[in-house]
Amino acid sequence: MGFGRTHDIGEVSSEMIGLKVVLGGWIEDLRKLGKMTFLTMRDSTGITQVIVKGEQNDKIEGLNRQSVLRIKGTVQETKAKDFDFEVGAEEIEVLAKAIHPLPIDPLGRLESNIDNRLNSRALDMRNQKTASIFKLRHHVLSSIRKTLIEKKFIEINTPKIIGSASEGGANLFSLDYFGKTAYLAQSPQLYKEQMTIGLERVFEIASFYRAEKSHTGRHLSEFTSVDIEAAFMDYTDVMGVLESLIMEVFKFTSTNCKDEQKSIGNEIKVPSSPFEQLTYGKVLDELNAADQKLEFGDDLLDSHLRIVGEKHPGFYFITDWPLKLKPFYIREKDDDASLSRSFDLQYGYLELSSGGTRLHDSKLLKSRLKEQGLDPSQFVDHLRAFDWGMPPHAGWGLGLDRLMTTLVGVDNIREVVLYPRDPDRLTP
């Protein structure tokens, strides 16, 4: 361990009383009592009380909270109620000084609003609640990877700088690429579909970009998407993959992230499975029963989904959307070509994922592109792959940040993203 640390604070226990340790961490709190100081020192794994006396006490004279120390000392018994042991300091070295006052109080005693916290995000990580959100996010990511790998999906990385507007649409960021116009990818859609040719089952976890001027708790200009695409699967098959993935994430984190749930103050409850499945038609009936006056083909707006979400507060699927509401690559249903083989996964009003069966016939793809007012010549590189033996395939994209809000129990996506990007925020 660097800097001569012998232990992480979380590794020290009352069984080590009498042993010498070297710890590194930051001062969370300090109390002076004459020639003695009671410190609480934290590192990313835990917290301990440190007793500082005599000459060592002079070294920390005037030191502010959040300053970083190395302490060599002996683990000893304590009278403090909150601790099982304490450390009697024998040697102290001040490694870094923190200023006073700090831009936010990382202990959260003084509530800081989200903007101030985002402006000082690194310091916000010394708040145990915030740190726990990102530790939880780490466990969610590792559980997603583990589950998809067990289901024989291969992790891929597709380009984020792309030469043509992949799915059409106005919400693309463009940039100068050595004198040409390039775009930031909105999704890995076309690449992941192409990869089913040889890899069959692929997934990607990456940042994608949408130039949408949205000011909501669920939209960012840069978000993390979990995407899968699978050959020889239909939309109902990939809905199964998605549902079992969500179940695994909830089971894993509810069992293995007890400390995080405690600091966040939200208990993760494993949802009941199977998730309810409503067709778009059924949702329309429910909305019209609530006086919404929707017709077949109308998109479900946020105001509509709020109503549906009241009745269905947990996870549920909305399936079989009108084909015209879906992107060009979505396949129609055999028994009714006005409907599509598609779904959204909802959590109450919140859309978490969209997916479906894809067209795998290049002629049909071309005519669907034209139908949607897109120019097939812009898609030649993509369409070529469909003449090379493209298997039938299906997939979905899941918003990781939105999923995190359901686990943490917050409405604002900015709480679960380190450095969120929105129309008003490009820094830090």
> Closest approach of Cβ 299 to Mn ion, in Å?
10
From the list ligand ATP, Mn ion, none, partner contacted by residue 401 (C-beta under 5 to 8 A by kind): ligand ATP
Q: Phi and psi dihedrals of 221, rounded to 5?
A: -75, -25
Specify the 3-state DSSP secondary structure of 15: helix
Is the CB of 223 or the CB of 252 nearer to Mn ion? 223
**340 is a contact residue toward Mn ion (CB under 5 A):** no
**399 is a contact residue toward ligand ATP (CB under 6 A):** yes
Judged by CB under 5 A, the stretch of 31-39, 136-144, 238-246, 347-355 that binds Mn ion is 347-355
Could you tell me how far CA 33 lies from the centroid of its own chain?
45
Instruction: Tell me how far apart the 2 most distant CA atoms of the chain are, in Å.
Output: 85
**354 is a contact residue toward Mn ion (CB under 5 A):** yes
**143 is a contact residue toward Mn ion (CB under 5 A):** no
- The residue from 352, 390, 404, 416 that contacts ligand ATP (CB under 6 A) is 352
Q: Please report, as residue ranges, which positions from 7 to 66 form the binding site for ligand ATP (by CB under 6 A).
A: none
> Closest approach of Cβ 217 to Mn ion, in Å?
17
The CA distance from 29 to 235, in Å, is: 54
Is the CB of 224 or the CB of 354 nearer to Mn ion? 354
From the list Mn ion, ligand ATP, none, partner contacted by residue 28 (C-beta under 5 to 8 A by kind): none
How many of the chain's residues bind Mn ion (CB under 5 A)?
A: 1
From the list Mn ion, ligand ATP, none, partner contacted by residue 223 (C-beta under 5 to 8 A by kind): ligand ATP
Is there a contact between 400 and 406 (Cβ–Cβ < 8 Å)?
no
Q: How many Cβ atoms sit within 10 Å of the Cβ of residue 11?
A: 12
Judged by CB under 6 A, the stretch of 56-64, 215-223, 281-289, 311-319 that binds ligand ATP is 215-223
Q: How many Cβ atoms sit within 10 Å of the Cβ of residue 315?
A: 22
The CA distance from 299 to 281, in Å, is: 12
In 396-417, which positions are buried (b, 16+ CB within 10 angstroms) versus exposed (e)?
Answer: bbbbbbbbbbbbbebeebbbbb
The CA distance from 264 to 123, in Å, is: 17
**Which spans of this chain sit near ligand ATP (rule: CB under 6 A)?**
210, 212, 219-220, 223, 225, 351-354, 397, 399, 401-402
